[in-house]
Amino acid sequence: MKKNSPPVDYAGYLQLDRILSSQAPKSVELGAPAHDETLFIIIHQTYELWFKQILHELDSAIAMFREDYIDEKNIGIAVSRLHRIIEIQKIMIDQIRILETMTPLDFLEFRNFLTSASGFQSFQFRELEIKLGLKTNQRVKYSQQAYHHMFTAQIQSKLVEMEKNPSLFDLLESWLERTPFLDLTGFNFLKVYRQTVEKMLLLEREAIEQNLSLSAEDKKERLLLMKATEKHFHTLFDAQEHEQLIREERRSLSYKATLAALFIHLYRDQPIVHMPFMLLSAIVDIDELLSTWRYRHALMVLRMIGRKTGTGGSAGFNYLKHTTESHRVFADLFNLSTFLIPRSQLPELPEEFEKELGFYFSQKGNDTL
């Protein structure tokens, strides 16, 4: 342990001389000091610090998932790091309340000094979106221009470069594809699942048809809904249909990965699937909290500047509101719930299957025992 390291003091360790001297309000510089500009600067700095921390965790998770083989121990570590991201996101949402103690009129006292500075120029936030898996073509356009426009040529090319690396989405997808859940001895998951669903839907249809308390019209309406449900399930029984939906940009996760994720959800009580389930849950949490943050941020901007254009000329509220929906990278994991069926309907896993899974995880891939 501590050998010859020179003694550290608190202020030096945290580099407080730099951190605490990096607030230079424009309004002060321009001779019209606005009390609240300090808050505006400091809260954005804390956001950037948290972005850095999130990227630190995300990078480490991505590094783990770049390996061909990921042992269970590392999935556990990845989950705990994603949980840290979740706790940071909660604070990111809640601390909007601090900024809202600044009223629109207070903001106006220095807003014009900011000229073209805009939160859209946060490099780290773009980095975060890219590393999660957001692709340029999924992005909402604003000011009629691609989002790169906001950045210098140098930074633009850095972002473009970054997009070429596998994102968390990409890595999760191929990890899911590699898991052995779908192909093991004596248990064809898709076949079993399909049979169960079809039997379940048949019973439901019969229940509606034989329900005496429903009017003819109600029955018709319910059967229409049933039809929609059946059609929806069918997209999961047929790889072709799934591929078609991906081409139409209505789905993004590959067919095989989707089935593996569904398996994990349905059999999550199996110890062997427990960590993978926690992993998927954590990712869905992150996606949900990012959406919530975007929404709260959009509302706050609306309140602060109304429907005027944002600083830096961005389209403000409308742009932000659209991103809450269309920038969701893991929407397909969210939508998985649509395909869940009650535990009681599910067949048990064959015992050998559990053993095979156990060996997969604990014996470092295909090594001998």
d(CA 65, CA 175): 7
CB 55 within 8 A of CB 73: no
The least distance separating a second copy from the CB of residue 307, rounded to whole angstroms, comes to 5
Whichever of 22 and 165 has its CB closer to a second copy, that residue is 22
In sequence order, what are the beta bridge partners of 145? 142
Query: From the CB of residue 210, how many other CB atoms can be counted at a distance below 10 Å?
Result: 9
How does DSSP classify residue 142?
Answer: B
Whichever of 271 and 365 has its CB closer to a second copy, that residue is 271
d(CA 159, CA 151): 9
CB 264 within 8 A of CB 273: yes
Whichever of 9 and 137 has its CB closer to a second copy, that residue is 9
Whichever of 35 and 178 has its CB closer to a second copy, that residue is 35
In sequence order, what are the beta bridge partners of 142? 145
The least distance separating a second copy from the CB of residue 13, rounded to whole angstroms, comes to 5
The least distance separating a second copy from the CB of residue 139, rounded to whole angstroms, comes to 18
The least distance separating a second copy from the CB of residue 59, rounded to whole angstroms, comes to 10
H or E element: which one contains 283? Answer: helix 271-305
Q: Give the closest residue to 355 by CA, choosing from 283, 277, 272, 294.
A: 272
Whichever of 100 and 164 has its CB closer to a second copy, that residue is 100
Whichever of 168 and 331 has its CB closer to a second copy, that residue is 331
The least distance separating a second copy from the CB of residue 210, rounded to whole angstroms, comes to 10
The least distance separating a second copy from the CB of residue 80, rounded to whole angstroms, comes to 7
Whichever of 105 and 137 has its CB closer to a second copy, that residue is 105
Token pair listed for 123:
């490099």
Whichever of 47 and 169 has its CB closer to a second copy, that residue is 47
H or E element: which one contains 224? Answer: helix 216-237
How does DSSP classify residue 38?
Answer: H
Whichever of 190 and 200 has its CB closer to a second copy, that residue is 200
Dihedral over Cα of 231, 236, 238, 244: its sign? positive
Token pair listed for 1:
């342990």
Token pair listed for 346:
């599910």
Whichever of 120 and 169 has its CB closer to a second copy, that residue is 120
The least distance separating a second copy from the CB of residue 46, rounded to whole angstroms, comes to 5
CA distances from 78 to 75, 83, 127, 286 (A): 5, 9, 19, 13
CB 358 within 8 A of CB 364: no
Token pair listed for 211:
């329900």
CB 337 within 8 A of CB 176: no
The least distance separating a second copy from the CB of residue 317, rounded to whole angstroms, comes to 9
The least distance separating a second copy from the CB of residue 10, rounded to whole angstroms, comes to 4
The least distance separating a second copy from the CB of residue 107, rounded to whole angstroms, comes to 8
The angle, 0 to 180 degrees and rounded to 10, between the axes of the packed helices 189-209 and 216-237 is: 170
